[in-house]
Structure 1
Amino acid sequence: MQEATYRGTVYPWQCDHVGHMNIMWYVGKFDEANWNLFARLGLTPSYLRSSGRGMAAVQQNITYKRELLAGDIIAIRSIVLELREKSIRFRHEMSNAETGEIAATCEITAVHMDRAARKSTPFEAVIRETAMRHLAEPVMA
């Protein structure tokens, strides 16, 4: 794993009736990590706007391992698991930054889209090359 793609705090208003961070906030924090990971791969907001491209999640699986409480500091680290011509699969690990314990993991498959055509489209070579450097195990499918 590399440098964090998200850092934040659990606020009291993000907790449910039993005092744990509510699942909707896990999803939101993982989403913020998505955009930081994408930017590292060259899929920056300016690239997406100027190229007419976009990213669309097609599958997301979250595993909850430890509760997070109000005041906990969170770090998410992300890694690319698989790169295909038009899609990417990656994993986020959310940890309690104080204890180092993994609180949740999220595995996502996302598709690179042509927004005008509303269809998937291949990644540009420079993005593919950058993503390959972030692969957990360099395997090209």
Structure 2
Amino acid sequence: MTLASLPADGIVRLEVTVKPEWLDYNDHMNVAWYVAAFDLGIDAFKDVIGITLDYIAREQRSTVALESHITYQREAHRDQVLRVETRIVDFDGKRVHIYQELYRDTDLLATQETVSISFDTAARRSCPFADDMAARYRTVLEAAAALPRPQWLGRSVGIRQGKPAA
């Protein structure tokens, strides 16, 4: 199976521009808007693999987030053009592990990883991926197979005891 609009490396890229209303009292992009930018990247990824609004309405299947983790590396400011890169790093019969990076030019600003689950929109509960969707995820995962493991993948939240504060 091939997906015509899937880049050869399996990474879907989307550009977003930091809007004035995305800024907080520190005059940089608020954390909520990092999440929003990543969510727009997931929407673009879903469009590429065929989980469009039409697909969701017709098949009554979508995905919903179960867990998410963000690392913040650098600030983003008003009117900067950012690039969201979205790829999958794993999936099984019901779940997909999505990894994203947010860039300004070549500067890494943030990362997000999310585990989402296949969701029956009529029954309002999880369900196995439809065969066609599982095949699409497999195609995307195979496209990204040659990429190195992302440096920031699999991080956890916590304070390492015994390490002095910077």
Identify whether the pair has TM-score above 0.5, normalized to the shorter chain.
yes
Q: Which amino acid aligns with 2:44?
A: N
- Take 2:119 and 2:20, find their aligned partners in 1: how far apart are those partners? 37
Unpaired segments of 5 or more residues in structure 2? 1-8, 147-166
- Equivalent of 1:68, from 68, 73, 76? 76
Give the paired residue count: 135
The correspondence of residues 55-94 of structure 1 with structure 2, limited to 5 A, is: 55-94=63-102
Distance (whole Å) between structure 2 residues aligned to residue 45 and residue 134 of structure 1: 20
- Higher CA-based Rg: 2
Residue 3 (structure 1) shift: 4.1
How much identity, in percent, do the aligned residues show?
A: 27
Distance 1:10 1:119 in 2: 35
1:114 aligns with 2:120: yes
Deviation at 1:73, TM superposition (A): 0.7
Q: Secondary structure at the match of 1:33?
A: helix
For the Cα contact (< 8 Å) 2:63–2:119, is it kept in 1? yes
Q: Which residue of 1 aligns with 2:138?
A: 132
Tell me the TM-score normalised to structure 1 length: 0.88
Q: TM-score, normalised by structure 2?
A: 0.76
How far is 1:13 from its partner?
Answer: 2.3
Alignment of structure 1 residues 13-52 onto 2, 5 Å: 13-52=21-60
Q: Point out where structure 1 has 5 or more consecutive residues left out of the alignment.
A: none
Instruction: Supply the distance in 2 between the matched residues of 1:20 and 1:86 (Cα, whole angstroms).
Output: 37
**How many Å apart are 1:111 and its aligned residue?**
0.7
User: Residues of 1 paired with 2:28 and 2:125: CA distance?
Assistant: 39
Q: Report the Cα distance in structure 2 between the residues aligned to 1:32 and 1:8, rounded to whole angstroms.
A: 9
Q: SS of the residue aligned with 1:32?
A: helix
The runs of at least 4 consecutive aligned structure 1 residues that moved more than 3 Å come to: none
2:107 to 98, 101, 121: 101
Counterparts of 2:123 and 2:94 in 1: how far apart (Å)? 14
**Matched residues in 2 for 1:56 and 1:50: separation?**
17
* 2:122 partner SS: coil
- Checking the alignment, whether the CA contact within 8 Å between 2:12 and 2:45 is kept in structure 1 is no
RMSD of Structure 2 on Structure 1 (CA): 1.6
Letter in 2 for 1:107: E
